[in-house]
Amino acid sequence: KWGNGASCVLYKDLVLVNAGNTGHAIVALNKSDGKEAWRVADAEFTDSWSTPIIAKVDGHDEMIIDMPGRILAYNPETGQELWWAKSPIEKTVCGSCVYDDGVVYAMGGRAGQAIAIKAGGKGDVSETHTLWQQPLRSGIGTPIVVNGNLYWSSTGTAFCADCKTGEYRF
């Protein structure tokens, strides 16, 4: 397809890589020697150019990444799955998740969908942690969070939505 385009993330002594498009996996490499520290493989890890993010949740770190149809959280030191949630962003994921005040926001996809999920938990948290889903025209960029608002640009236009509801501000 279009090849890999996600950025790597440095976490302690690891380099975290979304290798979904080229290897159907998320991989952690040791910074010192480049050897693989852990790997999470899944045939459905594809069509994601999302860069993993690190979030401090309830006193521990979580590596959070967006894949088509789901958002996943792993222990960044071991690759152990912590939680996951269904996502309305299907087929392709270009933008990365953003995290603010205990909430993960994901936007994008061809249909222009967005979701807010309370971080943390175990297993499938789709029903218990999803705060809202909205049809926001977000394209392929990654949003930013400032003062309770999501901001992003798509097709040459700047947009803003309320972080609490996902509704457009203007």
Q: What pLDDT is attached to residue 3?
A: 67
- 136 φψ region: left (φ > 0), alpha (ψ -120 to 50), beta (else): beta
Mean pLDDT over the full length of the chain: 93
**Does the pTM of the predicted model rise above 0.85?**
yes
Given a contact cutoff of 8 angstroms between Cβ atoms, the answer to whether 104 and 71 are in contact is: yes
Q: Express each pLDDT in 79-96 by its tens digit.
A: 999 999 999 998 888 889
Residue 2's pLDDT is what?
65
- Nearest of 40, 150, 24 to residue 97 by alpha carbon: 150
- Distant-in-sequence contacts of 25-28, Cβ < 8 A, 24+ apart: 26/52, 26/63, 26/65, 26/74, 26/79, 28/76, 28/79
Q: Which amino acid is at 88?
A: P
